[in-house]
Structures are given as C-alpha cells and as structure tokens.
C-alpha cells in the first residue's frame, strides 16, 4: 500500500501510517488490487489444465466467471474508503436488524432476532405473516417504497422464479427513523428461499455503505436544485427590475400585483376546494405574477408611452407581448424543482389576456382551457391597470374599477373567479392596501 501511494509513514514517537490520499479518492478495488497477488481468473476449471489465449471465445464458463468478476470489480470500485471510515453523523441513525423465519407450507412464522422488542411483540400479536408485513411496511417503510417492499416480501411471491427449489434475492429500500416521514435510513431486505425444506428466511438490515453513498448523492442533488431555485428567483427579480427601469411598470408594482394575486387565489381556494389549489401554487403564482408583462420589453417605448389611442398597427405590436414573454420563459433554468415554476411562468405570460368567452388574445382560448393561474393574473392585471395612471387614461378609484370589471368592461371572467375577486376586494387587508 505504501509503494502504491495509498498510505505513507508518519515519523515521531506516535508514528505509524496514515492515508496518503483523501479517503474519497481511494476505492476498495484499488486496495485489494495492490495487496492481492492477482485478481484475474487464469486457471481452467478442469484439473491440471490452462485456458488457451482464445478462452473468451471458446469457454462459456470463463465468460460467465469474467462477467461475474467484472460485476464485483465495479461494485468495489464504487465503494470508497470514506464510506467505511467516515460515515458522518447525518447519515447514521443506529442499527436496524430483523430476522424472520417462515414456513412456506402452513405460513407460520417467528422472529428469530430483532434489534428492538417491539418487533417480537408484533409477531406475537399478529395472526399471519402477511398481516405482519403489511403493518411493518405501513409503519416503517418510506412512502415511495411501500408498494415495492410489500410486493417483495409478500408470501404470495416467495416461491416464484426458484432455481432447483431455491433462491436468494435482495432489495434496497428506505426505513423511516422517526416521526418525520422524510427522515430515513437505507435498508436492505433479503430473502433466502428453500422450497425443498419449506423454509424462507427474511432479513431486514442496514445497508450502510449504500446508505452513505446514496445519501451523499441525494445531498448533492438537493444542493444543486436549491442553487437552481435561487438562480431562478434571481432571474425573476432581475426581470422585474428591468420592467421598473424601463418604466413599463410603476414603482411598487411588484408588491401590489403579488398581493392582489395571492388574495384572489386564497378566496378561490376557500370557496372552491374542488379546484385542488395548493398553498404552494398560490405562493408560486403570486411570486411570478409581476413578470406577466415581460414581453413588453420588446415593445418600443414610444408605443407604450403614447398618449391617446393606438393605431391598429401599433396595437398588433402590443398584442405580440404575450408570445414574446412566453418565449422568454422557455429560457428560464430547468430542473426538477423549477419544472412547475416554468409551467406557471409560461402560462401566465402567454394567457393573461385571454378571456373566458374566447374574446381574448393571443390564442382566443375559451372557458377552462385558460389555465387558472392566467385567469387570476388576468383579472388582477385589469384591476391594477384601472387604479393606476396610464399615458392613455386616468386612474380610477378602486370601487369604480371593481364595478367596471364586474360589468364586463375589461372582458369576460368566469362567475366563480368574479365572485372571489369581489369577495377578496372587500377584505380588510385589501382595503388597507388601497390606503
């Protein structure tokens, strides 16, 4: 190991040996390769015979053994010294070990060993193996793994795919470690079946090395997604700043449009639970609402700030901004955590000028074909435009703006959305916002 550069000598009274490389950079395969004289298969299975040079083409047995060796080599290569000597406090939740013995004929069973007395009690109090497995899976197994683990351990499938009446098979899964359903430790379920003896041995135990490796990967993925989410919201904030800088929206617009969107959404959630509106959806859409007009960045400022009525040609230019904005959202950061955000962004930008009767633009969508997030931002955008000054119109009092929207002067909205908008506008926090 010293000659291979894996360890080095330490001088002094407390001398000895220490790792010469970071433990993350040393695999078990590397260690075994240097301490074993050879790991290659080079002897023929027949006594006093050697394989010829074309052994891989002529010897089926050798092919099988080489494949097996390569499989184990790859596994050894993936296991690092750090997985063994430095598990880390975050990954270690204690030892879990259960051994069950099942009679395949009469389905009687017993707990041979368990790390906690509770399992022994469960075995004594449950009438059947199947009932015990169902209770174990329901209480201890991570929600995404429940179906897989139950199918693996169910007595119905224990005698399938046997070879000469025997089988050995394993399955990694996650075991919940406390009241928090998202805290878990990686486990491995093993089943050893001998139908000739009518016996099945089931073991459930920590998969320590797999656990550490997988959790480290999960932590890296979570960090990557968190960084992506930060990058996403930084971009949203930047776009809002650009809108402010170009005087496309007024100062304070971001807070106002987000506030109104949230209040209308909360009223929809309260009045119509069948819509399935989640708190996450409300927060996301409210946060994204200020960028619904980002497509106006491409509209000439002289058109946006023109006093008086726009020409048909100028109006056609303005009506392109939903398409331009939607196209811009296609370049937002993509990832698991931003997938839904990208959908909301696209729908808000493209469809906030659609109207319930199909009279809107750019696609002329009608009814519930218009995404809910775009419907909410659409009515809020109409309200905000009315209560603020524009180059082409004076601002209206909030009561007058609500009346105009209710009378259909800003286009058609669904009865449900209109009702929730009117109720939200009567709330104290909404009224305080006007003052």
Query: Do residue 266 and residue 232 come from a single domain?
Result: yes
Q: Is pLDDT larger for residue 228 or for residue 220?
A: 228
Is the pLDDT score of 252 beyond 70? no
Query: Do residue 156 and residue 264 come from a single domain?
Result: no
Looking at residue 42, its pLDDT comes to 54
Q: Is the N-terminal amide bond of 128 cis, ω within 30° of 0?
A: no
Q: How far apart are CA 133 and CA 150, in angstroms?
A: 7
Query: Do residue 231 and residue 139 come from a single domain?
Result: no
Is the pLDDT score of 213 beyond 60? no
What is the CATH number for 353? 1.10.3210.10
Q: Please name which of 203, 220, 212 lies closest in space to residue 169, comparing C-alpha atoms.
A: 203
Q: Specify which residues 16 forms β-bridges with.
A: 10
Spell 308-323 as b/e; 16+ CB within 10 A means b.
Answer: eeeeeebeeebeebbb
Per-residue tokens: 171: 């399955």
Average pLDDT, the chain: 83
Q: Secondary structure of 231-266 in the HEC alphabet? A: HHHHHHHHHHHHHHHCCCCCCCHHHHHHHHHHHHHH
Q: Evaluate whether residue 2 is within a structural domain.
A: no
Q: Specify which residues 170 forms β-bridges with.
A: 190
Q: Domain count for the chain, please give it.
A: 3
* pLDDT tens-digit map of 60-95: 666 666 666 776 776 677 677 766 665 444 343 346
Q: Which of 151, 171, 206 is the last residue of a domain?
A: 206
Query: Do residue 68 and residue 98 come from a single domain?
Result: no
Q: How far apart are CA 404 and CA 396, in angstroms?
A: 10
* pLDDT tens-digit map of 145-197: 999 999 999 988 888 888 888 888 888 888 888 777 777 878 889 999 998 88
């Amino acid at each position: 190991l010293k000659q291979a550069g894996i360890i080095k000598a330490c001088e002094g009274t407390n001398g000895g040996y220490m790792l010469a490389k970071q433990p993350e950079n040393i695999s078990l395969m590397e260690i075994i390769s240097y301490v074993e004289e050879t790991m290659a298969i080079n002897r023929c299975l027949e006594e006093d015979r050697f394989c010829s040079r074309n052994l891989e083409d002529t010897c089926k047995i050798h092919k099988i053994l080489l494949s097996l060796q390569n499989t184990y080599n790859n596994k050894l290569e993936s296991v690092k010294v750090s997985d063994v000597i430095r598990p880390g406090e975050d990954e270690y939740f204690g030892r879990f070990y259960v051994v069950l013995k099942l009679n395949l004929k009469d389905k009687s069973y017993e707990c041979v060993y368990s790390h906690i007395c509770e399992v022994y009690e469960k075995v004594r109090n449950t009438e059947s193996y199947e009932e015990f497995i169902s209770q174990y899976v329901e209480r201890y197994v991570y929600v995404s793994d429940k179906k897989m683990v139950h199918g693996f351990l169910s007595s119905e499938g224990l005698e399938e795919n046997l070879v000469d009446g025997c089988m050995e098979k394993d399955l990694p899964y996650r075991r919940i470690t406390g009241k928090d359903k998202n805290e878990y430790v990686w486990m491995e379920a093993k089943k050893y079946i001998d139908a000739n003896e009518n016996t099945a041995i089931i073991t459930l135990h920590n998969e320590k090395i797999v656990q550490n490796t997988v959790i480290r990967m999960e932590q890296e993925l979570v960090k990557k997604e968190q960084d992506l989410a930060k990058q996403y919201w930084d971009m949203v904030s930047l776009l809002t700043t650009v809108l402010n800088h170009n005087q496309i929206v007024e100062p304070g617009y971001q807070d106002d449009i987000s506030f109104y969107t949230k209040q209308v959404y909360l009223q929809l959630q309260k009045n119509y639970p069948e819509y399935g509106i989640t708190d996450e959806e409300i927060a996301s859409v409210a946060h994204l609402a200020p960028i619904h007009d980002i497509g106006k960045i491409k509209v000439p400022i002289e058109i946006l700030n023109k006093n008086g009525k726009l020409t048909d040609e100028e109006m056609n230019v303005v009506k392109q901004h939903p398409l331009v904005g939607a196209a811009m959202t296609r370049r937002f950061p993509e990832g698991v955590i931003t997938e839904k955000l990208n959908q909301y962004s696209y729908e808000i930008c493209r469809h906030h000028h659609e109207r319930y009767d199909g009279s809107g633009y750019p696609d002329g969508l009608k009814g519930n074909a218009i995404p809910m997030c775009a419907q909410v931002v659409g009515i809020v955008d109409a309200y905000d435009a009315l209560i603020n000054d524009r180059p082409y119109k004076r601002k209206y009092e909030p009561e007058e703006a609500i009346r105009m929207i209710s009378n259909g002067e800003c286009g058609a909205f669904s009865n449900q959305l209109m009702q929730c908008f009117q109720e939200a506008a009567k709330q104290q926090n909404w009224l305080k916002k006007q003052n």
